[in-house]
Structure 1
């Protein structure tokens, strides 16, 4: 049977760390996310959003006035315009977005 040799913790891991021989270098940090919330302030996207919001407000006003026939016509048109405006604004945003 062989004799096992024991090591103390202080021999393996000294309590006082040795000073580093090299100075830490400065480095530039870059963001991994190439997206800024300020990019949504594009005038074209704000214009499209303002037009759609204006039509929705006009529709609510006409509904309060009791002009239901005109509101139904607006609703039929908006069923087509809202998805087209949304997807065209989304396509425009990604097409003009500079990475």
Structure 2
């Protein structure tokens, strides 16, 4: 068991006591990273919802191509050509702003 030292209150308030501390307060370590992004940032419900909805739209477009509804698939593809880059950059900005 550790020995407990009793210090009178007045001596403590005057600063007359010295506390011997052998515990080092900081630990030196080096973490190398390009960007300080936690992997848990990608488990954000907003990001998962947006990513899942885009994935579902892409899968629907592929199924429309397989069925033979090329006109509908081309319309969805034209929309996705705009939506995918915009959503990727938006997620990048969103994740960097919520570190």
Q: Which interval holds the TM-score relative to the shorter structure?
A: 0.5 to 0.7
Normalized against structure 1, the TM-score is what?
A: 0.65
Q: Which runs of 5+ in 2 are unaligned?
A: 1-21
Structure 1: 4+ residue segments shifted above 6 A: none
Question: What is the alpha-carbon distance in structure 1 between the residues aligned to residue 37 and residue 91 of structure 2?
Answer: 17
Task: Tell which structure's C-alpha radius of gyration is larger.
Answer: 1
- SS for the counterpart of 1:28 is coil
User: How far off its partner does 1:88 sit?
Assistant: 0.8
Pairwise mapping of residues 27-46 of structure 1 onto structure 2 (< 5 A)?
Answer: 27-30=26-29, 32=31, 33=33, 34-46=36-48
8 Å contact from structure 1 (residues 45, 89) kept in 2: yes
Cα RMSD of the aligned pairs, angstroms, is 2.1
Normalized against structure 2, the TM-score is what?
A: 0.65
